[in-house]
Amino acid sequence: MNDIAAVLKSKGSEVATIGRDASLRQAAAELTRLRIGALVVVDGGSVVGIVSERDLVQCLAEHGGETVDRSVETAMTSEVVTAAADTPVLGALALMTNRRIRHLPITRDDSLLGIVSIGDLVKYRVERIEAEAEAMRAYIQGA
């Protein structure tokens, strides 16, 4: 099983979310507190955007200090790229690389199942490669 579901199984499906009306100050505080790079923006249980550190920096560069009092909605990316749990890990890595994104919400029928970062996917791939190499070494030594 080399799909996103396997990654979520090992890392968990907890997703940090924020409302679109929250302030960017609240978003920055939550990102800092949780030591993460993005929050999924929800409205009534539906994914309506994603706000990342990159979004905050861009908003700060464009609008200066009053940025922190703006709503999350003013800085979030509203065209959220998502994937299904059965998306192959390599497919998700390619999607994230091509779209230049670092966080990928995982959804099914508009329900949020989890989120993966490019780091989560790389870690999973490295672990799989190491496990396969170890299995190959054990097979060769046992033959």
For the chain, give the percent of residues with pLDDT over 70: 99
Is the sign of the CA dihedral 54, 9, 79, 119 positive or negative? positive
- Quick one: pLDDT at residue 45? 78
pLDDT tens readout for residues 56-82: 999 999 988 888 899 999 999 999 999
* CATH code for the domain in which residue 15 is found: 3.10.580.10
93 CB contacts (<8 Å, ≥6 apart)? Answer: 118, 121, 122, 125
- Burial (CB < 10 A; 0-12, 13-18, 19+), residue 91, is middle
C-alpha count within 13 angstroms, C-beta hemisphere, residue 45: 4
120 CB contacts (<8 Å, ≥6 apart)? Answer: 7, 11
Q: Which domain holds residue 47?
A: 4-142
pLDDT band (50, 70, 90) for residue 143: low
> How many domains would you assign to the chain?
1
